[in-house]
Structure formats: C-alpha cells, structure tokens
Amino acid sequence: MRLKNSSNKPYLIRSIYEWCVDSNFTPYMSVIVFPELDMPEKYFKNDEIIFNISNKAVNNLIIDNEFIYFAARFNGVSKELEIPMVAIKGIFAKETNQGILFSLDTDDENQLPVAKDIGLTSITNSSGITNKKNHLRIVK
C-alpha cells in the first residue's frame, strides 16, 4: 500500500496565519495571478496580487487543503474568492515582513495556467552560486 504524499503547504499557511492573529499582526497573502481570478488588473503587479486576509478585511475565511476561500470588498464591490493552493506564493505579517515564501513545484506549474515568472530574481555571487531573491510587494 502506497501512502499519498500530501502537501504541507496548507498547514504552513494556517500556522503563519494563526501566528499573525495571535501576535496582533496583519496577515498578507501573496498570490500568483491566474486566469480565473476575477479581479481588476489594476490590483496586479508583476503577475502577483497581495491580499490582506485579516478578520477585519475578509469574511468567511476558510483555509482548507486545496483552496483558500474568502469574501472581501474591492472598491465597494463584494467578491467571493477561491484561491487554489498552487497559486499561493507566500504568507507574511505586514508589520514585520516575517512569514513564508513557497517555491513552485513542477506539478504546481502544470496545474497553474499562468506565466512562469513569479517575481524571483536570480543573483549570482562571486563564487558562481546562483541564489534566488524574492521581491514581495504590498499592493494597496
């Protein structure tokens, strides 16, 4: 019998979210833009959108193992969003920028019909080792 290797991503997202709430920080979630995301393009920057997912900003937040669901208002218009786990780039506290950034697996890339550029910049140091640097931005 072979056990299914489930992703730890939803568990890590829930833990960072709970840490933010317990610490009175504002949890922000970085999402890779995907075609089914029904949002005006003015909210997108570098194929990414940042959502404030605090209790004050969203209603009915559900973080399950496949999707994150919530309702929020954007320019006075209420929207119910369903964000697939594969589109979650990271979650962090607005006040400290502490959190977690996820890398896209090959399987994730195949499930997400968007551009492959997820805002990472390659940096080569003097020893010839290439590091990836993240550029998280807050979109208001």
Task: For 24-119, list the strands marked E by DSSP.
Answer: 27-32, 48-52, 58-63, 67-74, 77-84, 88-93, 99-101
Amino acid letter at 35?
A: P
pTM exceeding 0.85: no
Domain range holding 76? 9-134
d(CA 2, CA 122): 37
Question: Is residue 3 situated within a structural domain?
Answer: no
Tokens of 39: 């949002």
Question: Is residue 139 situated within a structural domain?
Answer: no
Question: Is residue 85 situated within a structural domain?
Answer: yes
Question: Is residue 19 situated within a structural domain?
Answer: yes
Question: Is residue 4 situated within a structural domain?
Answer: no
Q: Are 117 and 104 in contact (CB under 8 A)?
A: no
Q: Output the domain CATH number for residue 95.
A: 2.30.30.220
Question: Is residue 38 situated within a structural domain?
Answer: yes
CA-nearest of 33, 32, 55, 5 to 102 is 32
pLDDT reported for residue 119: 39
Question: Is residue 1 situated within a structural domain?
Answer: no
| Segments of the chain scoring below 50 in pLDDT | 106, 109, 113-137, 139-140
Between the alpha carbon of residue 64 and those of residues 14, 59, 88, 130, the distances in Å are 9, 15, 13, 35
pLDDT digit string (tens) for 70-79?
999 888 888 9
Question: Is residue 61 situated within a structural domain?
Answer: yes
pLDDT reported for residue 18: 97
Number of domains in the chain: 1
